[in-house]
Amino acid sequence: MKFKYLAAASVAGLTATMAIVPTTVLAQQITSGIQGVVNDDSGNPLAGASVTVTDTRTGASRTITTGADGSFNATNLTVGGPYSVAASADGFEGQTASDINITLQGNTALTFALSSGSGAIVVTGTRVKATQLAVGPGTSFTAEVLENAPSFNRDVRDVIRIDPRVSLDRDDGGSGSDRISCLGGNDRGNAFTVDGISQGDVYGLNDTGFSSRSSTPIPYDAVRETQVQFAPFDVDFANFTGCAINVVTKSGTNEYQFGGFYEYSDSGMRADHITVDGAHAAVRIFVEAAELVFVGARLGDVYKIETGPLVTNRPFVNERWFGRADLQITDDHRLEATYQHLEESTTRADDFFTGQSSPQVTGQNTFYLSGTKADYYSARLYSNWTDNVSTELRYSRSEVQDLQDPIGGGEAQSANPIPRIIVGIDNANPIADGAVLAGPGTSRSANDLRTKIDTYRAVMNIDAGQHTFKLGMEMNHADLFNLFVQNATGTLVFRNINDLRQGLLSPGTGNNQTSTTPANIVSGATEGAFGNFSSTGDINDAAAR
């Protein structure tokens, strides 16, 4: 269980922060604000003026009375817009500034100059000075940018790369995904949050830097704004050395909106190619395919192990769901709730040699599904108690299951553990010896990673004129379960098909008795049976919790 205490103060636009941060997952700022001053024509502050901030998307409004210095500050506003801001005071002509859009980058500051008289006018930026404040060096990408930016993958990574401080590095040796490098740093130093929920790689095993193995966890069409921060001075941002990638989802409006997209691609759209097959290669493939059929039949009859068909394609499945509800309880209280689901998988090989010097063949059931199954829940209550005091209460839960499942099952922690079986294939020269594999791969025989994180957050903002105070606490409770044991169901090795027929295990005459290269198997150098097992008989005792 981790605690974080927040304490911050700002004086005349300069902010000092103080925090104790013994935590691993931090929620980022996901709302914005409109602040400013109301003056007369001579530049003198108008105390007691009324400022009404209205979200034109929902009609929600809030009225604030300026202080002695003429200042006002509307916090906890939903990002985007447009907002309209109306200022009025007795004996002065009122003004309304329209089409104000706010971003995650910082509050928008307005300066009104009211003239003596009566009535009200709608003014533009020439009469009301609008300034975009910032919490530090960074960039916000609004809904307009997201809609117009080219993104074939429909991924926020295609958008944030517009910032020259962000680059994408293709992970060719792993997932094939684009890894995010900020200021030239490794993506392990980045933080990634969606509506304040950490969705980065908590355990540190994924190739993407996200909680998901192959894609971003959030659907692209659910994103309202994306922000990249490099060195913010707001206490809400922490736990990164590269950049903080902050995503906020779309909120509801008074109008129904519909959208959709469609994309199509197939191999016929690629360039033409020529393939040349040698006679030996064709013979070897044919022979080993036939041997897989025989070995598979034998294993099915004697050991009740199904090898599955030969793998000719590796499908990728990705399902992402997102739902959000916004309830404007009163003008001073707003409740938000979100649910997000991700389920993705791609077929990958485990301990499988494909080189011509050590050819192996295996059925589909020895391959494994690599992916993620995750659910995220969040609820947030924003309240304005007075013109100067506002609060935020937030709760979120993330449940992430890392998928490393053999297609044919048989992990040690399952109800039906299956041993790995390797049968040598003694090929005539000049074809190299081969092998047929069955059962779960050595690294998927006991592989289970689950994380569950509950986050509780309470923040109070106090506006004291020239000073702004932020007080709060955040608590994270993380439950982690990591089971990883190689060869946990054991390996049985047969030198050739005849030995398999007779049930004769390899004698293990070599120095490297656990080597599973075809040459060692055919020669009998590999040990006939070996594995890693728990002394208690329960493989779950080896898990880290």
Pair 237, 28: CB distance under 8 Å: yes
Pair 347, 213: CB distance under 8 Å: no
Q: Around Cβ 320, how many Cβ atoms within 10 Å? A: 19
Q: What is the pLDDT of residue 403?
A: 92
**CA-to-CA distance for 382 and 77, rounded, in angstroms?**
9
Q: What is the pLDDT of residue 25?
A: 46
Q: What is the pLDDT of residue 27?
A: 58
Q: What is the pLDDT of residue 314?
A: 85
Q: What is the pLDDT of residue 51?
A: 95
**CA-to-CA distance for 475 and 450, rounded, in angstroms?**
20
Pair 457, 474: CB distance under 8 Å: yes
**CA-to-CA distance for 403 and 405, rounded, in angstroms?**
6
Pair 99, 123: CB distance under 8 Å: no
Pair 330, 381: CB distance under 8 Å: no
Q: What is the pLDDT of residue 173?
A: 55
Q: Which residues pair with 273 in a beta bridge?
A: none
Q: Are strands 80-88 and 71-77 parallel, antiparallel or unpaired?
A: unpaired
Exposure b/e, 103-127, CB count within 10 A at least 16 = b: bbbbbbbbbbbbeeeeeeeebeeee
DSSP 443-503: TSSSEEEEEEEEEEEEEEEEEETTEEEEEEEEEEEEEEEEEE-TTTT-EEEESSHHHHHHT
Residue 290: helix, strand or coil by DSSP?
helix
Instruction: Name all contacts of 409-412 with Cβ < 8 Å and 24+ positions apart.
Output: 409/365, 409/440, 410/305, 410/439, 410/440, 410/445, 410/489, 411/440, 411/444, 411/445, 411/446, 411/447, 411/448, 411/488, 411/489, 412/445, 412/446, 412/485, 412/488, 412/489, 412/539
DSSP 133-163: --SSSEEEE-HHHHHHS--TT--THHHHTTS
Place of tokens 């793998």: 311
Q: Would you write out the chain's pLDDT as a tens digit for each of its 545 residues?
A: 555 555 544 333 333 333 333 344 455 788 999 999 999 988 899 999 999 999 999 889 999 999 999 999 999 999 998 999 999 999 898 899 989 999 988 899 999 999 887 666 665 544 566 777 777 788 999 888 988 888 877 889 999 999 999 998 876 555 567 889 999 988 888 999 999 899 988 888 888 888 888 888 999 889 999 999 998 888 888 788 889 999 999 887 767 776 666 666 666 655 554 444 443 344 344 444 555 566 667 677 777 788 888 888 888 888 999 999 999 999 899 999 999 999 999 998 887 666 666 777 888 888 999 999 999 999 999 999 999 999 999 999 999 999 999 999 999 999 999 999 999 888 888 778 888 888 898 899 999 999 999 999 999 999 887 788 989 999 999 999 999 999 999 999 999 988 988 889 999 888 778 888 888 899 999 999 999 988 888 888 888 77
Residue 204's identity, in one-letter code, is G
Pair 135, 234: CB distance under 8 Å: yes
Residue 283's identity, in one-letter code, is V
**Phi (first) and psi of residue 107, to 5 degrees:** -65, 155
CA 177 from chain center: how many Å? 13
Pair 111, 123: CB distance under 8 Å: no
Runs of H (alpha helix) within 325-402? none
Q: Minimal CA–CA distance to 86: which of 125, 51, 38? A: 51
**CA-to-CA distance for 498 and 295, rounded, in angstroms?**
11
Q: What is the pLDDT of residue 290?
A: 55
Q: Are strands 223-229 and 244-249 parallel, antiparallel or unpaired?
A: antiparallel
C-alpha atoms less than 13 angstroms from C-alpha of 122 in its C-beta half-sphere: 4
Residue 181's identity, in one-letter code, is S
Q: What is the pLDDT of residue 467?
A: 82
Runs of H (alpha helix) within 274-315? 279-302
Place of tokens 């041997």: 291
Please give the model's pTM, rounded to 2 decimal places: 0.83
pLDDT digits (tens, 9 = 90+) for 332-388: 999 999 999 999 999 988 876 666 667 778 888 889 999 999 999 999 999 999 999
**CA-to-CA distance for 406 and 418, rounded, in angstroms?**
11
Domains of the chain: 30-132 (2.60.40.1120), 138-249 (2.170.130.10), 279-542 (no CATH)
Q: Around Cβ 460, how many Cβ atoms within 10 Å? A: 15
**CA-to-CA distance for 518 and 434, rounded, in angstroms?**
5
User: Which helix (DSSP H) or strand (DSSP E) does residue 38 occupy?
Assistant: strand 32-40
pLDDT digits (tens, 9 = 90+) for 202-242: 888 888 888 888 888 999 889 999 999 998 888 888 788 88
Q: Are strands 223-229 and 197-198 parallel, antiparallel or unpaired?
A: unpaired
The residues, any chain, with a CB within 8 Å of residue 477's CB and separated by 6 or more, are 1, 2, 453, 454, 455
Q: What is the pLDDT of residue 269?
A: 58
Pair 440, 489: CB distance under 8 Å: yes
Q: What is the pLDDT of residue 23?
A: 40
Residue 256: helix, strand or coil by DSSP?
coil
Q: Are strands 316-330 and 178-182 parallel, antiparallel or unpaired?
A: unpaired
Q: Around Cβ 271, how many Cβ atoms within 10 Å? A: 4
**CA-to-CA distance for 74 and 378, rounded, in angstroms?**
24
